[in-house]
Each structure stands twice: as C-alpha cells, then as structure tokens.
C-alpha cells in the first residue's frame, strides 16, 4: 500500500494507473475506520483493479457548533486497517493541501438538503460536494463507494454526479450493523453503557415500520407517529426527526409509492445517531378494461 499526502504525488500515481488501463475504485472517508468502511473497501476491491481510499476530516462540512475538534482520529490504526483490507493507495492530505487558498468558485447545493440532517446543518453538504469534487478530479475513479447509513449524502452526491456529468458511478453499499442491529458509526463510542443497550431500538423501529408499509399501511403520518412513540418508549434519546420521502429525490409524498426512505435521527447525551431504511413499493395503478 502506498501512502500519499501530496496532490502532485497522487496525480503522478493516478496517471500511471490510467496509462496502464487500470480501473479505479474510490472510497472517500473521514477516517476512524470501522467495519462499515471496510465493507466499502471490500466492494471496491471486487470490481476494480486499484482501490484508492482517502482519509480527510473535511473542515468545510462542520458547522460552528459541530464536533470537528472532537471528531475521533487514529491515523496509525486507520493505516493498518486499510493495508489489511488491501487498499492500494491511501491518500491522507492535510487541510492546507486540499484548500490552498480562498475558493474562487463556491459550490452550493440547492436540492435534497432542506430535509433530514441537512435541515439543521446549513452549509454541510456544500462542504461535502466541494471536497468530493476535488477528490473525484484527483482520483479519477470509475466507481466511488458510499454507505447507505448516510442516505442523504448519497442522494446529494448522486445529484452532483448527474448534474455535472462526472464520469463516475456512485455505488450504494448496504449499512453494516452490529449483531444487535445498531448501525456501525464512529460516534457510537460516545454512547454510555445504558444508551448502547437502548440504541438497537432505532433499527427495530424501522424494521417494524417497513413490515407495516409492505403489508399495506400507506399512511405516512401514522407510520411516523408509531416509530416516534416506539423510540420514546424504548430509549432515553431525544427524537430529532422521523421522516418519509421519495428517494433519492427527497421530496414529500402525498401517497407512499415508488422508492421511499424512512429516516430517523436521535440525540443521546453525547452522540447523535442516524439510521434509515429504503423501501421499494410496487403500487400499480388501477387498470380499467
């Protein structure tokens, strides 16, 4: 595995692989790797000649009251995990390398950001698409891999790629979970012992709702109320939102149909957890003969 910290070195390495005809799979991360990240590497390893992973805690996607300084970092552990997972190139730039001066062109996401987490994180996804635009140009991957735990991010990135004709396929990878169903996350380390016992209730609420919807209960308000009540009963966390939208458009639905997302966010004492489930509904219109 090659560890690269400079843009010039990365450019030379990518150019070499492009000249050799190698396909490139890309896994962008902010580090503190866990099994969720490793599943992205595994998927990329399966379909590409070369796997590039980036580790960069992007300051542009943290708001003034968010946890940039507290965001967990362990670069040596990350390096070992990446090497064991057979990453070919590990790109670990610092902020000065990625942002070498004031931006003369600023990216601003207009759609898919005013709901779910984006509703209270103004500018967050602007930071996401800014760093990914840089990384996509640098790495030039055929495919980039993202976990479905952050489904809103996938929706925004798919919009970026579609709108600006990036020659990269966005691959959705299923959320990796603990044995009890809790979605793996770098922030799980902040849960207290009691909260960790409660936290699997989030996914259970989603699975129960999915069963109801697939059984024909298409009343979105009723589903949202039931999920909210369940989380209130089973956890000490504060429900920040329970919402249903079309996916990946993230638009409100008068009737539940097509591909939809049921997403939740719950604030515990020191950790904010998100989770979601995608449901595909094949609702056929009445046909008159």
32 labeled part of a ligand binding site: yes
15 catalytic? Reply is no
Ligand-binding annotation for 147, yes or no, is: yes
Catalytic pick from 16, 17, 37, 137?
37
Rounded-to-integer distance, Cα 252 and Cα 164, Å: 25
CA distances from residue 88 to 24, 85, 201 in whole angstroms, order as listed: 10, 9, 38
Is 249 flagged in the annotation as binding? no
Annotated ligand binding at 148? The verdict is yes
61 is an annotated ligand-binding site residue = yes
Nearest to 44 by CA among 146, 157, 153: 146
Q: Is residue 186 annotated as involved in ligand binding?
A: yes
Question: Taking CA 251 as the corner, what is the angle to CA 218 and CA 106, rounded to the nearest 5 degrees?
Answer: 160
- Tell me which long-range contacts 177-181 makes (C-beta under 8 A, separation of at least 24): 177/203, 181/207
Is 187 known as a binding-site position?
Answer: yes
CA distance 261 to 263: 6
d(CA 192, CA 210): 28
- 101 in a known ligand binding site: no
d(CA 157, CA 126): 11
Q: Is 149 annotated as a binding residue?
A: yes
189: alpha, beta or left? (left if phi > 0; alpha if psi -120 to 50): alpha
Please indicate if the annotation marks 150 as binding a ligand: yes
34 known member of a binding site: yes
Task: Indicate the annotated binding residues for (R)-pantoate.
Answer: 61, 153
Task: Indicate the annotated binding residues for beta-alanine.
Answer: 61
Residues classed as catalytic: 37
Task: Indicate the annotated binding residues.
Answer: 30-37, 61, 147-150, 153, 176, 184-187
Task: Indicate the annotated binding residues for ATP.
Answer: 30-37, 147-150, 176, 184-187
């Amino acid at each position: 595995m090659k560890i690269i910290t400079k843009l010039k070195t990365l450019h030379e390495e990518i150019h070499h692989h492009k000249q050799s005809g190698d396909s490139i799979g890309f896994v962008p991360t902010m580090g503190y790797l866990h099994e969720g990240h490793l599943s992205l590497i595994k998927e990329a390893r399966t379909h590409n000649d070369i796997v590039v992973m980036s580790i960069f805690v992007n300051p542009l996607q943290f708001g003034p009251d968010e946890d940039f300084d507290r965001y967990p970092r362990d670069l040596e552990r990350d390096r070992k995990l990446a090497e064991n997972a057979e990453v070919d190139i590990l790109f670990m730039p610092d902020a000065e390398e990625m942002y070498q001066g004031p931006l003369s062109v600023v990216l601003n996401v207009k759609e898919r950001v005013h709901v779910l987490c984006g509703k209270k994180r103004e500018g967050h996804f602007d930071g996401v698409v800014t760093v990914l635009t840089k990384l996509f140009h640098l790495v030039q991957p055929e495919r980039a891999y993202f976990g479905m735990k952050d489904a809103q991010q996938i929706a925004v990135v798919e919009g970026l790629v579609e709108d600006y004709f990036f020659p990269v396929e966005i691959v959705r990878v299923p959320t990796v979970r603990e044995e009890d169903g809790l979605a793996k996350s770098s922030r799980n380390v902040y849960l207290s012992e009691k909260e960790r016992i409660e936290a699997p209730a989030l996914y259970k609420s989603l699975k129960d709702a999915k069963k109801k919807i697939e059984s024909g209960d298409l009343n979105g308000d009723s589903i949202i109320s039931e999920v909210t009540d369940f989380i209130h009963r089973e956890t000490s966390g504060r429900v920040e939102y329970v919402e249903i939208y079309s996916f990946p458009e993230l638009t409100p639905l008068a009737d539940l149909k097509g591909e939809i997302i049921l997403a939740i966010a719950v604030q515990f004492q020191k950790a904010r957890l998100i989770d979601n489930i995608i449901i595909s509904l094949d609702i056929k219109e009445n046909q008159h003969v």
